């Protein structure tokens, strides 16, 4: 890897592990569930490591600086870092501490227990000096420095002051993701990104939450600690931005469903930094980060959100994809509940929209297989479709409740269904389950056919008939 990088991420690295299984009974020894393990432990970069890997997912080069113990878990973290493209790293060994590990035991995508192994004592002056020297060595290559604080003892008050003061002199942007209730230790950072709970705990814990109170507290800490901007993540209430020039921005949440907030803050700070490096305005950077957070909270565990996914959400036409692209996206993102439907959707009407919206609400990732022009002709004759496949797909791509559109030429979508294996197969209630193409297949792998109640009297054929009759 070259020396050059665009972003330094400095902070507490964590090894996230997951043990998946089934809970079918309670222990006779104590009132606790028994987890029957079904898969080996999954291992991921957590803490500052998750920030770093999301920076690379946003297509930026990153250099990660952190501390580890002298143990096997440290070696696992090194290997995970090595496998992450566009990531270089300095993992400073501190023999007086253990590598931070969070072990999550999971059943049915729900955590039933978390076990933490960690040292939280402040690092020694010797280790601090070593970290600062490695930071200075890389500083000339970067535009932005992220401080990812998980309160594990690495980011001492003296180290933070040296880093922030140096960055101010060198005109580097410092973004802080805080964990300490005392925000004074981050004084003079350019941007601080607390979540709503952290903001209130650091200022006025008893104050009622509102847009106004978030603005008030943000202005207070800007004045008190010399920040330029406060970006507060607010879960279902979205993101609020307040800067010293009194510019205020409230963005609603972009999450379809909040499934797991683990690492959502990491995703936000990564995409804000990425936007700044790419010379986006702060507003556009935060909008992109908000989209990324909306994706992250819909998945289980800490996760990477790729820039292509953000672009897909922003550019509706990019929803239209090929089968191999769709399969790859499903493989990477491991969506909890995939829903699928198909149809011609010629002369789109109220009945279509109601049906698609109802279907989308019952899943996390909704796929529409659209009959191509040749496929429509096979089913409905040479007078159809009225609207060609490009127009139909482009119109449908602008509806937020559809995640992906794939155009197929066959008479039925059976081949697509077999390859993507959705959890839900949707069809109108004018069908019987036995008539639904793919019903047998989906039931075979534990999926479900769902018949959606349709608005009576709404159909493309009836619209065409009315046009012909002049009614």
Point out the residues that are catalytic. Answer: 266
> For the chain, how long is the longest CA-to-CA vector?
88
Cα 338–341–344 angle (5° rounding)? Answer: 150
Alpha-carbon distance values, 255 to 180, 209, 335 (Å)? 27, 20, 14
Which distant-in-sequence residues (6+ apart) come within 8 Å of 459 by Cβ? Answer: 349, 351
- The DSSP output letter for 6 is S
CA dihedral angle for residue 195, residue 200, residue 205, residue 206, rounded to 10 degrees? -110
- The DSSP output letter for 195 is B
Q: How many residues does the chain have?
A: 471
With left for phi above 0 and alpha for psi between -120 and 50, is residue 80 left, alpha or beta?
A: alpha
Alpha-carbon distance values, 230 to 144, 192, 223, 333, 459 (Å)? 16, 5, 11, 30, 51
H or E element at residue 187? none
Q: How far is CA 462 from the centre of its chain?
A: 43
- Structural contact between residues 426 and 341, judged by C-beta atoms closer than 8 angstroms: yes
Alpha-carbon distance values, 27 to 83, 106, 187 (Å)? 40, 17, 51
Alpha-carbon distance values, 421 to 38, 262, 328, 385, 424 (Å)? 21, 27, 13, 28, 9
- Structural contact between residues 276 and 313, judged by C-beta atoms closer than 8 angstroms: no
Q: In sequence order, what DSSP letters do the residues of 39-89 get, joined into one string?
A: SPPEEEEEEHHHHHHHHHHTT--EEEEEEE-SSHHHHHHHHHHHTSTTEEE
Cα 69–67–307 angle (5° rounding)? Answer: 125
């Amino acid at each position: 890897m070259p020396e050059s990088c665009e972003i330094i991420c400095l902070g507490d690295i964590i090894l996230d592990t997951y043990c998946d299984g089934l809970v079918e009974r309670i222990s006779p020894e104590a009132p606790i569930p028994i987890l029957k393990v079904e898969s080996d432990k999954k291992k991921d970069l957590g803490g500052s490591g998750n920030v770093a890997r999301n920076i690379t997912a946003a297509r930026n080069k990153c250099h990660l600086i952190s501390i580890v113990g002298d143990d096997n878990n440290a070696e696992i973290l090194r290997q995970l870092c090595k496998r992450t493209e566009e990531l270089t790293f300095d993992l400073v060994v501190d023999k007086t501490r253990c590598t931070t590990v969070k072990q999550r035991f999971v059943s049915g995508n729900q955590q039933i227990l978390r076990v933490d192994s960690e040292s939280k004592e402040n690092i020694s002056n010797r280790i601090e000096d070593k970290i600062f020297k490695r930071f200075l060595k890389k500083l000339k290559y970067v535009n932005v420095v992220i401080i990812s604080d998980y309160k594990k003892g690495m980011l001492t008050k003296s180290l933070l002051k040296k880093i922030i003061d140096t960055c101010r002199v060198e005109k580097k942007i410092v973004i802080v993701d805080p964990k300490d209730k005392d925000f004074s230790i981050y004084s003079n950072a350019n941007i601080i990104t607390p979540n709503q709970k952290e903001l209130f705990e650091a200022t006025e814990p008893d104050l009622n939450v509102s847009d106004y109170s978030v603005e008030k507290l943000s202005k207070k800490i800007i004045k008190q600690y010399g920040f330029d901007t406060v970006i507060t993540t607010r879960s279902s209430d979205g993101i609020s931005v307040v800067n010293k020039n009194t510019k205020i921005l409230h963005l609603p949440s972009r999450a379809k469903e909040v499934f797991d907030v683990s690492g959502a803050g990491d995703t936000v700070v990564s995409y804000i930094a990425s936007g700044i490096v790419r010379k986006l305005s702060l507003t556009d950077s935060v909008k992109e980060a908000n989209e990324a957070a909306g994706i992250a909270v819909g998945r289980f565990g800490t996760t990477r959100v790729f820039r292509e996914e953000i672009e897909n959400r922003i550019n509706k036409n990019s929803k239209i994809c090929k089968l191999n692209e769709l399969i790859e996206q499903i493989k990477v993102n491991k969506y909890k509940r995939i829903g699928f439907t198909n149809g011609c959707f010629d002369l789109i009407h109220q009945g279509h929209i109601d049906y698609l919206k109802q279907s989308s609400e019952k899943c996390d990732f909704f796929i529409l297989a659209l009959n191509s022009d040749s496929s429509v002709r096979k089913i409905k004759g040479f007078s159809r479709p009225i609207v060609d496949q490009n127009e139909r797909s482009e119109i449908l791509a602008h509806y937020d409740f559809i995640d992906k559109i794939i155009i197929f030429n066959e008479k039925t979508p059976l081949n697509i269904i077999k390859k993507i294996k959705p959890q839900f197969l949707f069809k109108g209630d004018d069908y019987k389950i036995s008539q639904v193409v793919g019903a047998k297949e989906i039931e075979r792998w534990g999926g479900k056919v769902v018949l959606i109640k349709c608005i009576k009297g709404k159909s493309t054929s009836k619209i065409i008939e009315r046009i012909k009759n002049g009614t």
